[in-house]
Structure 1
Amino acid sequence: MTAGRRRSGAGPPDGARTAAPRFGTAEASRAGASRADGDGPGRTAEPPATRPSPRPTKEQLAAAAGKLLPDVIAPGLDVLFVGINPGLWSAATGWHFARPGNRFWPALHRGGFTPRQLHPSEQDELPALGLGITNMVARATARADELSAEELVRGAEELAGKVGRYRPRWVAVVGVTAYRIGFARPKAGFGPQPEPLGGARLWVLPNPSGLNAHFTPETLGAAFGELHAAAASG
């Protein structure tokens, strides 16, 4: 399988779904440890999660409104994570969940999906671990509540088509409120959902935004860990 970053409108190259999860494998752990130690080309010994992110200027953030952020996606992923929509910080940097204080990347590691905590700039390493990121709504806004219900419903329909093309085993929507609106499931809760999406099993995770005071880093990591356990078991 060719792993890489593809725009959401592009169809996948020919390739079959992988037979077993790649995250948490010994090979992935060795690769992650090697990168963390600075053995890979162009790497430094500094832990990637502590690298300072470039801080967009006020003008750059304003210009990022409405921009589209390319997906990190490949055919046959184990888990495709689905954000609500890109924030201005992500649109300005080109990295998903890039705003300081967003807990997606720590939760991904705490949950067992990555051998170490990745920096947002390392998002293109995810497909090699069987993971990807997309959004329900492509356009960037300062706040998710700037999106209309119609946009979320349309985004859910487009997501179903994308899942049908790329055929991940699991789809994890990161944000229960957006899921309830987009998929017309007003009583949906966290965890596995009864209906599949485009042939993939469906899971709802808490929103990792730092504004979500209902979840601590520990409980958020535990929620990601439940998905990891389910995906690892098939």
Structure 2
Amino acid sequence: MLFCGINPGLMTAATGHHFARPGNRFWPVLHLSGFTPRLLKPSEQGELLSYGLGITNVVARATARADELSAEEYREGGLLLAEKVRGLRPHWLAVVGVTAYRAAFDERKAGVGPQERVIGDTRVWVLPNPSGLNAHWTAETMAREYARLRVAAEE
């Protein structure tokens, strides 16, 4: 499983750890959904590999907010991500953020959940963005969606 965030926030850029901002719910949701046996800190992201998980971003440029990214950056990021997926060959690509997925892959009507798109043999699932700014998803509702992916990946 390769999780893919939108782009590094400023805290992530400063620390070198994905989803490092204290209000981000990625790490708690990953644990609540059963992907990790305990709550990991961003500084423990290296442990993800031992669970068969990886982490990357659509766009490499750090910003304070994802809405600072251009459409061109998303499109280029989608092309680079597809290349990375073809090389790594994970069973699943989990894009964390429906808006990022839509912009990166020109899938304007995509929603949260499994997608028709495959990259090589890699299936794609879109997950809700765990940012604290994404107020219409709680940690619990996000964890249920992440768990749906975990169950699908185990089958």
TM-score, L = length of structure 1: 0.65
Counterpart CA distance in 1 for 2:41 and 2:132 is 16
Correspondence 1:97 to 2:19? yes
Per-residue deviation, 1:197: 1.7
Tell me if structure 2 keeps the 8 A contact 1:136–1:159.
yes
Matches within 5 A, 1:170-189: 170-189=92-111
Aligned residue for 2:55, secondary structure, equals strand
Preserved CA contact (<8 Å) 1:85 1:135: yes
Q: Look up the equivalent residue of 1:96 and give its one-letter code.
A: H
1:221 correspondence with 2:120:
no
Number of aligned residue pairs: give it: 155
Percent identity reads: 66
Work out the CA distance in 1 between the residues paired with 2:65 and 2:78.
19
Contact 1:161/1:198 (<8 A) preserved: no
- Gap runs ≥5 in structure 2: none
User: Aligned equivalents of 2:99 and 2:120: distance in 1?
Assistant: 21
Query: Which residue is 2:43 aligned to?
Result: 121
Q: Match for residue 201 of structure 1? A: 123
Report 1:125-136 matches (<5 A).
Answer: 125-136=47-58
What code does the residue aligned with 1:121 have? S
Question: 3-state DSSP class of the match of 1:193?
Answer: strand
Partner SS state of residue 22, structure 2: coil
What whole-Å deviation, never above 9, does each CA across 1:50-81 have from its counterpart, x for those lacking one?
Answer: xxxxxxxxxxxxxxxxxxxxxxxxxxxxx100
Amino acid at match of 1:122: E
Judging by fraction of residues, say which structure has more helix. 2
Unaligned runs of 5+ in 1: 1-78
In the alignment, structure 1 residue 83 sits paired with structure 2 residue 5: yes
Q: What is the CA–CA distance in structure 2 between the aligned matches of 1:98 and 1:118, rounded to whole Å? A: 11
Shift of 1:83: 0.3
Matching residue of 1:148: 70
Q: What displacement does 1:213 show?
A: 0.5
User: TM-score scaled by structure 2?
Assistant: 0.98
Q: Which has the larger radius of gyration?
A: 1
Q: C-alpha separation between the residues in 2 aligned to 1:220 and 1:166?
A: 26
Root-mean-square deviation (Å): 0.6
Report the alpha carbon displacement of residue 199 of structure 1 after superposing the two structures with TM: 2.2
Give the Cα separation in 2 of the matches to 1:197 and 1:174: 17
Which protein has the bigger strand share? 2
Write the distance in 2 (CA, Å) between the matches of 1:231 and 1:86: 26
Aligned residue number for residue 167 of structure 1: 89
- Confirm whether residue 111 of structure 1 aligns to residue 39 of structure 2: no
Give the aligned residue type for 1:232.
E
Structure 1 segments, 4+ long, off by >4 Å, are none
